[in-house]
Amino acid sequence: MRKIQLFFTALAVFAASGLAFAQSGEVTGVVTDAGTGETVPGASVVVKGTLTGAMSDANGAYSVKVSDKSSAVLVVSFVGYRTQEVQVSGRDLVDVALQIDATVLNDVVVVAYGTQKKEAITGSVSSIDNKGLAETPVASVDKMLSGKLAGVNISMTSGQPGAVSQIRIRGTGSINASTSPLWVVDGIPVLSGNIGLFSNSNSTLTSLNPSDIESITVLKDAAAAAAYGSRAANGVILVTTKRGREGQSSFSASAKFGVNWLQSDSGFRMMNAREILSYQRDAIFNAGMDPDDPTGSYYRPLSLLEGKLYDPIKEFTRVGNLQEYQLSARGGNSRSTYYSSLSYQKTEGIAYGISFQKFQGRINATYKLLKNLETGVNMNLSYSKQQDVPMQDLYYANPIFAGETLLPWVPLKNEDGSWNVEIPSNSYQNPRVTAIYDKQNDKNLANNTTVSLTWSPLRYLTLSTKNSAELHFSKGIRYWSPYSQGNGGQDPQLQTTRSDDTQLTTSNTATFNNTFGYHSVRLVLGQEAMKYKYTYDYINAPGVNDNIRFPQTAPQDKVTAKGGETNETLLSYFAIGDYNYDNRYFLQANFREDGSSLFGEDNKWGAFWSASASWNLSNEKFMRNVDWLDLAKVRVSYGVNGNNGIDAYKAYGTYASTQYNGVTGFLPNNIENKKLSWEKNKTWNVGLDFGVLKNRISGSIDIYNRKTVDMLLTKAIPQTTGFSSIFSNVGSMSNKGIEVLLNADLISNQDMLWTVSGNIAFNRTKILDLGDDDFLGTWRRTVVGKSMYTYYLYDYYGVNPANGEALYVAEDGSLTNQFSKARRHYCGSPEPKATGGFNTNFSWKGINLGVYFEYKIGGKVFLLNEHSYLESDGAYMSMNQLASAKNYWKKPGDTGVNPKPVADNTSNSNNFELDRWLENASYLRLKDVTLSYTLPQKWVNKVFLKDVKVYVSGLNLYCFNDVDFWDPEQGVTGSTAGQYPLTKSLVGGIEITF
Amino acid sequence: MKKYILLTISALAALTFTGCDDFLTEEPTTSQSDVLTLNTAEGIADAVIGAYSPLNSSAWYGAAYILNTEMMTSDGRRYPGTSHDSGRYTEAYALNWTPNSTYAGLWSGAYYVIASVNSVLTHIDAVSGLDEATKNNYKAECLFLRALSYFDLVNVYALPKGSASTSQTKDLGVPIVLTPDLTAKPARNTVDEVYTQIFADLDQAESLMDPSYQRSGTDPKGFASIYAIYALHSRAALYHQDWQAAADYATKVIESKKFSLWSAKELPEAYTQDLGGKEVIFEVYDSRNNSYNPYHDSVCNLTSPKGEYGDCGVSSDLYNLYEAADARKALIGTFSDGAYATLKYAGKGVGTPDANNIIVFRLSEMYLNRAEAVINGASGSSAVSDLSAIANARGASVQPATLSGVYLERRKELAWEGHLWFDLSRTGRDMTRTDVAGTAIPSSLPASSYKWAFPIPVREFNVNPNLRQNDGYSEN
């Protein structure tokens, strides 16, 4: 393609120079790549407003005649770069540095089983390259995607380094089967999700180094993803890692350092000592008791304020830090290429006792055995250690929850300054003591190796085989020390576990590629097989010796052991066909047949397919004269994808072993379903891509309807059957939405580039059918006709202005002070109305500033777990309360406030299931600000370096929101408990290439 | 060239297609198919043992059955704001149940056991490799477990025959399910029908079980025996006011001479023995090695002064009932702050109490059952001598042979073993208590209240339209 364009450009230039009005001076110069500094051969240099032009030679040099050097403007362009206009301004020598253009349509994009020119894509695809990814202080690649791709929604239930994030592409498409996309790295589907054993959350994807990534493509609709068949229903994320390049070798070294800290931007905080004392004294008075009576249930004299006071949150958290070092090398010659990297990363979290460390290395190499036979190996190795303290639930040892609940006058330290564990109100635990003595960690060794062989026996035929082994060896240790528990201590207890995950994949394709006349055809035939095995062992040893922490030192009659194994297989055959007529009409069809061990014996095989077409209007003859329009392409697609994301053996009726009275027996644990089969997604997509004003403004719009049918559902059944639920294919749901993406180059010239871009996605999830049921669940329901996770809560009205009691709305709409008469009502869901992001990037002479915002509009969070304790109206007298709870009823006539606190409040005004805990989750987050400076070449060349870049980057620096909590991010269900909140980070770093 | 390529591809395809059914078959590894379990001798044997397992769950005898019922009576006392207050069992103590917060674990647990034994009973006759005697003993065990499950269900979620409740749903019991059916949405049977089923199961169990049959386990009394069947029959008959049967089955246990009363000297150690003591007829053998061991939420951790939580304390109402010389007074200890605690679940080991057997039937109850039955008109024994037997063994003065006398002795003897709530309910008496934690806690429950039956868990109404909630509670 590039050759053809070169030819045409040359022809045009030749023709043009023949007609030129040969006069006046000559301008010369060199065209280079602004990013790498390498010369660009074959670039077109045309004098604006004339037909005069030239083409840069093999060294990037050009020479062009102009009529008037003072006023002439050169238009410099080359495929894959932004077209640039340069004022000659009387100079003889004009060097031009071209900026890579990530948005132009001629880019090649990685797609299912190959690459495609952006122009030829018929489905809905989003992609980003690695620019800016390396600077972001994150442990895994999924964290970098939030808000960057239209329709790709990233939620987090934990801000802990290394934690898993929840990724939803075009909404939540399943109730009980997987809702996460398939990750494919360099053509091989990989494991994703939580691999944590005892750690709070440990993402499999941390083994992948973000700096190794060349590009990420997200396949959103059926047409794009159908080639992955039974696993494509929730979209596919294709990650391509860096490969070697022919040419001079380059080495780079980088280091970054930073800090992370806890901060709420909504004004959320706990009461200080004075506030909570006054609150509790009121509560005690309101209960008819005397806070100054030393013999009363609650003795809360004002003199408590004169004793030593603590700020528990401050005592239990810290400013964390992170450091990261990397080395990489890249190069190659005509026969072989290589890319290799080595990295070390360490993050210490905001809570004492939390850290994440990782060593990681990668080699991607290719070697041409023969002219048409190439072999390659991609190998990634990583070793990580996650040290934790108990979080993600309301544990007494959870530093955040304990920090919220402990009363300021509770002595956290002993007289001698050591940490005090004798805290009755916190079950004799102190998170700082836990962090010192207890252990809770995971170690994970991961190896992902793919060996490939590619043979092109004929010009139009390529046969390729990729064989891959992905291995994760994990070991978890949890140790409860005798010293971390007061009140006489506890027996030390050791728990250890080891697990292996092994996934073997073979992927074999034959690709026919040919062009005849105006017709281009691509046909891929393929076969894939996957075998996955998981095993684990677990030992629980209560009463081990504190000095010799191994199971054999525990009383052997108390030691228990468990183990398990899970196997899963998948076998697939597929075909992909592309047809292109004159770069104007594009057709694509996919077909895939998958067999899976997960399903019932009657329904193991499923067929998936898609068909799509696009029409590039801008390449039509009649559009040639429309100057302002550079691109107008219409796409339409339809297809059926599958979802097999369920646990193994769900189709079998089984008994599981159970221990009682020294004997092993069996109890029923699963109901047989021979008909159990795939969940299917049927998706329509209509899209438009456009570019105007020489592509300075470009974008796309997609409209889709994704319908999930034969939904795999855990259907509740009466417990009188002995079971609570049965798993079967019933029900359907839909996700409909619109996605808009816009890019604009505000300024684009030789010295300066200023771009803005933004995306917005609207998605509506709607449950269509649940079989016999109208809804599932109790207080967070899946309801026919409504969104997933619709809240069905007791209707809290507010406070009775007359007496300060809580009021509820009863079934008949009247108000009642009786919680037992309160009605339930549907009151929203966590699903946002719109999600997206926008960013601006400004670069000028080596300085680059990127500012990135992410937002969610609409949707609710339900803060039941903490708030029912922390806004308890007196029910939890041993716990501190939210600062916002100060606003309570004090005198008749007060409205819009909390009920009056009453010690030992049993009115249920703090019941978990009150709509009182719902808050609007909308936010605008300053996700990422990065300022970098690339030192001028002439400086760095003197010290024999190629490139030096320094930067500072801030992650999540501020979040505009009104949620009365640490952060509005509460995961897809809108609720968390004892969460490690999202934190703020600031890093600085340097990258040197030589 | 082309020909070779095509050949290679078709050869590859042929290779990959071969054995693809085998490749796609992955059998469960850590569980066993129901076909194999229910159609083999070994499988059936394992399934019978398995059915005992959930009895140890924290939702049943492992904790909640004892603690929910005791905390609703004057035996229980919470001590809010103390070091042994973790907020557990507040609903029970406040008599504050809703269909959402109700004691739901017994419903699922008991029906799980019922479903497990129903599967065995449905398949056992067709299984080869089991002799008739073994089959009969297995069937008897299953029938005992089914009767026990229905007995607990009907008393927790429904009202007994003698209840003075004015509830509109007083006659409604629980649904009876006797065969495996995953699509069934049964309505509630009446209390009478449920008791009829319980007695039918016990009669059949009695006729099938070899009187000498005893399954071997760590604690033989952790499994059913003919005496456990008699004991349950005695109690069920007492609850259903079949006085003569209550007395007769108590007599069968007493006169077997297999059990004898603990002496006053033995009593303090009796409850924390590892293996069922001489008075024990049937108990749930608790151990950390049991799959259903309740761990932190065990009855020991909730009641013992050495326990992790200690939310479920003892009221001075109960403590003051005992005379100074009564050996049973020593079964009430104190927490570090002086609050009363029962020592009946103080743990079998030392240090943190990690497990304690839960006695379901013991001999002294048989004397008390018989005494009460006789006072109500049954023949064949003397209430005075039965009440004397208990009082003498404990070092207490003998109660008069009146209803109030037997009620008082029963309360003192069986305190904290999950009896008082049901005894009040079935005899139509008010619950009153003087030692209560704060004014927000009800100090009484009139016998006429609807609250003597727990609400049926709300999730059942969501999936079974044929069910009716107990009067006084909403269905959602």
Contact A662 B217 (CB under 8 A): yes
Residue A814, token pair as written in the block: 């009247």
Q: Mean of the pLDDT values across residues A42-55?
A: 80
- Asked if B142 and B120 touch (Cβ cutoff 8 Å), the reply is yes
Question: Mean pLDDT score of chain A, rounded to an integer?
Answer: 89
Give residue-wise pLDDT tens across range A9-48: 443 443 344 333 334 788 888 888 876 677 787 788 888 8
Q: Distances in Å between the alpha carbon of B296 and those of B288, B348, B378?
A: 11, 15, 44
* Residue A773 with chain B: CB contacts under 8 Å: 462-463
Closest CA to A49 of A62, A32, A34, A68: A68
Tell me which residues of chain B, numbers 286 to 315, contact chain A at a CB-CB cutoff of 8 Å: 287-292, 306, 308-309
Largest CA distance in chain A: 107
How many angstroms away from the CA of A953 is the closest CA of chain B? 45
Tell me which residues of chain B, numbers 70 to 109, contact chain A at a CB-CB cutoff of 8 Å: 80-83, 85-87, 90, 94, 96, 98, 100, 107-108
Across the A:B interface, residue pairs with CB atoms under 8 Å apart total 249
How many angstroms away from the CA of B290 is the closest CA of chain A? 5
Give residue-wise pLDDT tens across range B389-416: 999 999 999 999 999 999 999 999 999 9
* Residue A660 with chain B: CB contacts under 8 Å: 49-50, 52-53, 55-56, 217, 222, 285, 290-292
Q: Which of B94, B111, B218 sits opposite A662 (nearest CB)?
A: B218
Segments of B358-474 assigned E as strands = 358-362, 431-432, 444-445
pLDDT value at residue A221: 86
Which phi and psi angles does A846 have, rounded to 5°? 85, -15
Q: Mean of the pLDDT values across residues A852-865?
A: 95
* Residue A596 with chain B: CB contacts under 8 Å: 24
pTM of the full structure: 0.80
Q: Which of A653, A658, A716 sits opposite B34 (nearest CB)?
A: A653
Does position B191 have pLDDT exceeding 80, yes or no? Answer: yes
pLDDT value at residue B69: 95
Q: Distances in Å between the alpha carbon of B335 and those of A593, B234, B305, B316?
A: 67, 36, 5, 13
Tell me which residues of chain B, numbers 229 to 268, contact chain A at a CB-CB cutoff of 8 Å: none
Contact A721 B115 (CB under 8 A): yes
Q: Which of A428, A457, A654 sits opposite B28 (nearest CB)?
A: A654
How many CB atoms are closer than 10 A to CB A165? 21
The three-class DSSP label of residue A159 is coil
Does position A332 have pLDDT exceeding 50, yes or no? Answer: yes
* Residue A876 with chain B: CB contacts under 8 Å: 87
**B460 Cβ under 8 Å from any chain A Cβ:** yes
Q: Mean of the pLDDT values across residues A314-341?
A: 94
Q: Mean of the pLDDT values across residues B132-153?
A: 97
Q: Mean of the pLDDT values across residues A412-422?
A: 95
Residue A54 belongs to what H/E stretch? Answer: strand A53-55
* Residue B449 with chain A: CB contacts under 8 Å: none
Segments of A800-945 assigned E as strands = 806-809, 815-816, 824-826, 834-844, 847-857, 860-862, 918-920, 923-934
* Residue A284 with chain B: CB contacts under 8 Å: none
* Residue A569 with chain B: CB contacts under 8 Å: 23-24, 26
Contact B26 A597 (CB under 8 A): yes
| Whole-number Å distance between alpha carbons of A344 and A340 | 14
**B43 Cβ under 8 Å from any chain A Cβ:** yes
How many angstroms away from the CA of A206 is the closest CA of chain B? 30
Give residue-wise pLDDT tens across range B10-50: 555 544 554 566 888 888 887 888 888 889 999 999 999 99
Give residue-wise pLDDT tens across range B364-377: 999 999 999 999 99
Does position B466 have pLDDT exceeding 90, yes or no? Answer: yes
Contact B23 A571 (CB under 8 A): yes
| Whole-number Å distance between alpha carbons of B396 and B328 | 9
How many angstroms away from the CA of B34 is the closest CA of chain A? 5
How many CB atoms are closer than 10 A to CB A91? 15
- Asked if B54 and B291 touch (Cβ cutoff 8 Å), the reply is no
Domains defined along chain B, listed by start: 1-59+103-187+449-476 (1.25.40)
- Asked if A789 and A812 touch (Cβ cutoff 8 Å), the reply is no
Contact B351 A297 (CB under 8 A): no
How many angstroms away from the CA of A666 is the closest CA of chain B? 5
Phi-psi region of A601 (alpha: psi -120 to 50; beta: other; left: phi over 0): alpha
How many angstroms away from the CA of B195 is the closest CA of chain A? 17
* Residue B1 with chain A: CB contacts under 8 Å: 457-458
Contact A661 B223 (CB under 8 A): yes
Q: Mean of the pLDDT values across residues A884-897?
A: 94
Burial (CB < 10 A; 0-12, 13-18, 19+), residue A152, is buried
pLDDT value at residue A19: 39
pLDDT value at residue A469: 96
**B462 Cβ under 8 Å from any chain A Cβ:** yes
pLDDT value at residue B12: 52
Does position A652 have pLDDT exceeding 80, yes or no? Answer: yes
Give residue-wise pLDDT tens across range A559-609: 989 999 999 999 999 999 999 988 899 999 999 999 999 988 888 999 999
Contact B37 A527 (CB under 8 A): no
pLDDT value at residue B85: 87
Contact B28 A461 (CB under 8 A): no
Residue of B nearest to A724 (CA): B108
Residue of B nearest to A720 (CA): B111
* Residue A528 with chain B: CB contacts under 8 Å: none
**DSSP letters spanning A745-781:** EEEEBSSEEEEEEEEEEEEEEEEEEBTTBSEESSSEE
Q: Mean of the pLDDT values across residues A242-258?
A: 89
Q: Mean of the pLDDT values across residues B339-356?
A: 86
Residue A313 belongs to what H/E stretch? Answer: helix A312-316
- Asked if A414 and A471 touch (Cβ cutoff 8 Å), the reply is no
Phi-psi region of B230 (alpha: psi -120 to 50; beta: other; left: phi over 0): alpha
Contact A656 B30 (CB under 8 A): yes
Question: Mean pLDDT score of chain B, rounded to an integer?
Answer: 92
Question: Which of A129-143, A251-265, B25-39 has the lowest average pLDDT?
Answer: A129-143
> Residue A59's pLDDT band (boundaries 50, 70, 90)?
confident
Residue of A nearest to B53 (CA): A660
Question: Which of A29-38, A256-265, B242-251, B267-276 has the lowest average pLDDT?
Answer: A29-38
How many angstroms away from the CA of B51 is the closest CA of chain A? 7
| Whole-number Å distance between alpha carbons of A191 and A196 | 13
User: What is the separation, in whole angstroms, between the first and last Cα of chain A?
Assistant: 32
Beta strand A355-370 with A53-55 is unpaired
How many angstroms away from the CA of B219 is the closest CA of chain A? 6
pLDDT value at residue A79: 66
Higher pLDDT, A34 or B69: B69
pLDDT value at residue A195: 85
Residue of A nearest to B283 (CA): A661
The three-class DSSP label of residue A312 is helix
Contact B115 A669 (CB under 8 A): no
Tell me which residues of chain B, numbers 167 to 226, contact chain A at a CB-CB cutoff of 8 Å: 175, 177, 180-182, 184-186, 215-219, 222-223
- Matching residue, tokens 């047949």: A593
Q: For chain A, give the percent of residues with pLDDT over 90.
A: 61
Beta strand A182-185 with A236-241 is parallel
Contact B31 A564 (CB under 8 A): no
